Amino acid sequence: MVAARLAALKSSYETSPEFRQIVRFLFAGGFAAFVNWLLRIGLSVFLPFWLAVLLAYFIGMSVGYTLYKHFVFVRAEKPESVRRQVLIFLGVNLFSALIVLGLSVGVNEVLRTALPLFIAQALAHGFAIAVGAVTNYLGHKVITFR
């Protein structure tokens, strides 16, 4: 049963450029998200939670841009200028950063009533990053790296 599902997944991966791009995005974005999440934990030692979330987000975003440009959206139209592409990338990520910040703080407030602070913050931030990844993929596919 598992072998059949793996074979079907491999078959769809080999035939669908869209599926391959999504898989590459998940790996690249997952790594950038992990960098973001891990840095936030370290930054929270010295900074308020909301500021640690924002700084970690923008550092992870820098990692994401590099990976998306060279690994995920390799067949994207070449921009007139890299500066313009970076500005568009920043705009898409600013939108996602607001979502991640709002969800992180909001979900943290809910979770911290039932969980220890460290766990509540880690779960809230992880959940918010996952939601932000969806908006990022759509924004970068449609706008940044079209």
Residues 6+ apart with CB under 8 A from 43: 51, 52, 55, 56
Residue 67 and residue 43: Cα distance in Å, rounded?
23
Which pTM value belongs to this model? 0.68
Per-residue burial over 59-94, b if 16 or more Cβ lie within 10 Å, else e, is bbbebbbebbbeebbeeeeebeeeeebeebbeebbe
Torsion of CA 120, 125, 131, 137, to 10 degrees: -160
**Do the Cβ atoms of 70 and 27 come closer than 8 Å?**
no
Domain ranges of the chain: 48-146
Query: Would you state the pLDDT for residue 80?
Result: 65
pLDDT mean over 89-110: 91
Mean of pLDDT values over 125-141: 87
Angle at 114 between CA 112 and CA 117, to 5 degrees: 35
Residue 79 confidence (pLDDT): 64
Residue 15 has a pLDDT of: 65
- The per-residue pLDDT for range 43-65, each reduced to its tens digit, is 999 999 999 988 998 899 889 88
